[in-house]
Amino acid sequence: MHESLGEVYERQGRSQDAIEHWRKATALAGDAELVAILSAADVKRCFAGAVRAVAAKRLERLIARTKSGEYVSAINFARAFLRLGDKEQALRWLKTSCEDRNVHSLTIGSDPFYDPLRTDRRFNKLLQRMKLRV
């Protein structure tokens, strides 16, 4: 819940509220490392830097989980790369997620999180292929 509220506040430009809810979400998950990253963030000066720092840490963890043999949904990689601003990798992982028929990929047509990709023809082709857009 707090993670989603943070995303809503982010879209509204309410950086401080977004960070606060993400901090609550990570605290409830018992993730002291991400809490520390979010607590150290100077939101007014570098909100984007805090978002990228958290995404980088999450990506590092996803890679470690994959290397240990654990299944990690491709959508998690797509979201991390999109947070890092790497649209190429995000699109690559979204395609994989859709090919895997992951249920979370069904939300990409309506989830505002993916708005940065909406002008990319490859994203729109993916939506059409999945019948999420006519």
pLDDT in tens, 40-50: 867 667 888 88
- Number of CB atoms found within 10 A of residue 130's CB: 16
CB-count burial class (<10 Å; 0-12, 13-18, 19+) for 22 = buried
Its pTM stands at 0.86
Nearest to 6 by CA among 112, 89, 127: 112
Q: How far apart are CA 102 and CA 75, in angstroms?
A: 8
Q: How far apart are CA 101 and CA 98, in angstroms?
A: 5
Q: What is the pLDDT of residues 17-59, one digit of tens each?
A: 999 999 999 999 999 999 998 888 676 678 888 899 999 999 9
Domain ranges of the chain: 1-72, 73-134
